[in-house]
Structure 1
Amino acid sequence: MALIDNVIKSARPKLYDKVKKNVLLFKDKYIGDRDKIVQDDIFRIIEEIPELELILFPIKDDELSGFICVYKGEFFTYINTYQPREKQIFAAAHELYHFARAKFSDEEAFKTNFRELLKSEALEEKQLTNDIDIEDAKANLFAALFLVPKKLLKEELDYYGIKTEEEVDKLELIKLMDTFAVPYKTIVLRLYEIEFINREKAEKLLEIPDRDPEKGILKLINLHQIADRWQQRTREVKLGCLRPLIHENENLELLPLRRINKDKEFIEKFEEND
């Protein structure tokens, strides 16, 4: 079965509309501007959500993109800044879906015990298969709709003079990647979802390698230096309220002293490298 058969737009159109509505509701509540190119402003958006704490630091692991969890009623989301910036941005938007899902859930147990680990493979494709959980598929769609709104995507197509699907080529696609700071597959699938390109065109574009520096999209990005800023591994460190929480655990004797000292060493290590 082709990837196009598995994306939510094709397999579950009503679910697609529901997720799209959820994106608009989220933007109305937390941003106010539905039509905005977000890029790495996603991190400022997260920091301005009172109930959500953002943690950034690099782990040399291309498989781990991030996670989100609840501790004492507060949500924490972690993003691995060792990964390319475009992946960090998409992972952050992905986790916003899980935050919204948990925040507005009617199930109290879900709110208090919620946690979700995000691996890179779950970001690669918006699939509905046995390999990717339905919630991750919905979170990927949420992220794509959040980061690449239909109205702005059409405006960018007009700006670049792309009137028909025949004019969509690899160079034009990396220009769109640069504008929206999202992975290659996200741009292709968004063009398919807004019905600018047909199924056959989308499938051909999705066959092009996008992570190999020797060929395909990444090679083109490096050659033209378009969208290359979003391929950088920023290794940014932002520990938020982790240190105050560690001190609280120590003062209230909530954790063994050995564990607290280990946590302190962890914090100090990253602050030294910041």
Structure 2
Amino acid sequence: MSKIISSDNLEEVININLQIEKQIQSKVDTVLSRYNDSKVISSEKLAFNILKKESLIQIPINDIYFGGLVVVKENFRIAVINTAQPRVYQYFIAWHEIYHMFFDEDLKESLHKVNFDMELNERYADYFAAKMLLGDVYDFYFSLDDENFEDKIFRCMDVYKAPYKAILIQLYQDCKKFDNSKLKSAIIENFDKQHESLVDKFERLGLDTELVKPTYIYDVLTLENKIKKAIDENPEIEFHKSNLEYFKKISNNILKIKESFINEDR
């Protein structure tokens, strides 16, 4: 089982971030220049716009650990996102999967699982996702009037549409840059906390509670129609037909695939 990011290995995470920062920023620049012709301003909306143009299945799966899948068959890659997760995590998972679909040369013909929580061995994809969503979190954090540390983090989540840990990791990295030991201590103290009801916390602060609720979207037709259109336009090309059969097989067996991963992780 993969190693979950916690306060115990946070320093290791930051060290990896610093080592790969230029590589990841280059990939961020590539996505923004090549895949945003419509000039979509909202980063979270851009992620889903890109995936829908590529290959996306959205399906609610009632498992708190399951974020999604990237399914690979030759050059055909399908992103699967679990819409039973809160919206804020779906946004992060979407960018995570975009990294694997566009840049992961080691992604072989298989199923690549994306967990709900961050894992150390997924640092490239997670750092890419964080960079796509986050701005100057450190500056925004200190612009807030709230006295409570967690309230400030929730406000950062609301503004950047990014998960709790993604906010804390970026803040911790900035703390090292600005030598802010006080904030570093607060981050370590709060990093491993479990928040059972973010809806109540967001509601208390007057924030958009939809961000921390699931969407429960079920959409396989968008991808199916895209493949069928490709067949209609180029009926002589066999791999479109092969992709349609593979898509049907995958969409019919996603729940079984998910169950096998759950058994593997427990």
Name the TM-score, length of structure 1 as normaliser: 0.68
* Secondary structure class of the residue paired with 2:143: coil
Structure 2 partner of 1:161: 143
Which string of whole-angstrom CA distances, capped at 9 and with x for unpartnered residues, describes residues 60-108 of structure 1?
Answer: 1111100112235221100000111111111111111111223xx3xxx
CA RMSD of aligned residues (A): 3.9
8 Å CA contact retained: 1:175, 1:227: no
Equivalent position of 1:202 in the other structure: 184
Provide structure 1 residue ranges, at least 5 long, that are not aligned to the other structure: 126-131, 267-274
Aligned equivalent of 1:120: 116
Separation of aligned partners in 2, 1:85 and 1:15: 27
The match for 1:232 among 196, 207, 213 is 213
Q: Displacement of 1:201 after TM fit?
A: 1.5
Alignment CA distance shift 1:138-1:227 (3 Å): farther
The residue that corresponds to 2:132 in the other structure is 146
2:99 touches 2:125 (CA, 8 Å); kept in 1? yes
**2:204 counterpart residue number:** 223
Whether the aligned pair in 2 keeps the contact of 1:26 and 1:100 (CA below 8 Å) is no
Say which SS state the counterpart of residue 207 (structure 1) adopts.
Answer: helix
- Are 2:198 and 1:192 equivalent residues in the alignment? no
Supply the AA of the counterpart residue of 2:33.
D
Identity %: 20
Amino acid in the other structure paired with 2:31: F
Question: In structure 2, which of residues 133, 142, 156 is the aligned counterpart of residue 176 of structure 1?
Answer: 156
Residue 78 of structure 1: aligned partner: 80
Deviation string for 1:139-187 (max 9, x for gaps)?
Answer: 111100111134xx46745xx8359xx9783322212211111111211
Partner of 2:258: none
| Secondary structure at the counterpart of residue 28 of structure 1 | helix
Aligned to 1:212: 196
- Shift in alpha-carbon separation, 1:120–1:154, aligned structure 2, 3 A: closer
Could you tell me which residue of structure 2 aligns to residue 46 of structure 1? 51
Task: Spell out, residue by residue over 1:113-143, the C-alpha distance to the aligned partner (whole angstroms, 9 max, x if none).
Answer: 253111223x2x6xxxxxx32xx11111110
2:252 to 263, 266, 269: 263
Following the alignment from structure 1 to structure 2, what is the Cα–Cα distance between the partners of residues 243 and 11?
41
Residues in 2 aligned to 1:16 and 1:61: alpha-carbon distance in whole angstroms: 32
Distance in structure 2 (CA, Å) of the matches to 1:54 and 1:35: 18
Contact 1:66 1:77 in 2 (8 A): yes
Segment of structure 1 superposing worse, 178-187 or 31-40: 31-40
User: Is the deviation greater in 194-203 or in 138-147?
Assistant: 194-203
Query: Match of 2:10?
Result: 4
1:65 is aligned with what amino acid?
G
Q: Any idea what SS the aligned residue of 1:113 has?
A: coil
* Matched ranges for 1:97-112 at <5 A: 97-102=99-104, 105=105, 110=106
Q: Which moved more, 1:176-185 or 1:79-88?
A: 176-185
- Secondary structure of 2:64's counterpart equals coil
Return the letter of the residue paired with 1:120: F
Q: Is the 8 A contact 2:138 2:171 kept in 1?
A: no
TM-score by length of 2: 0.70
Total equivalences in the alignment: 231
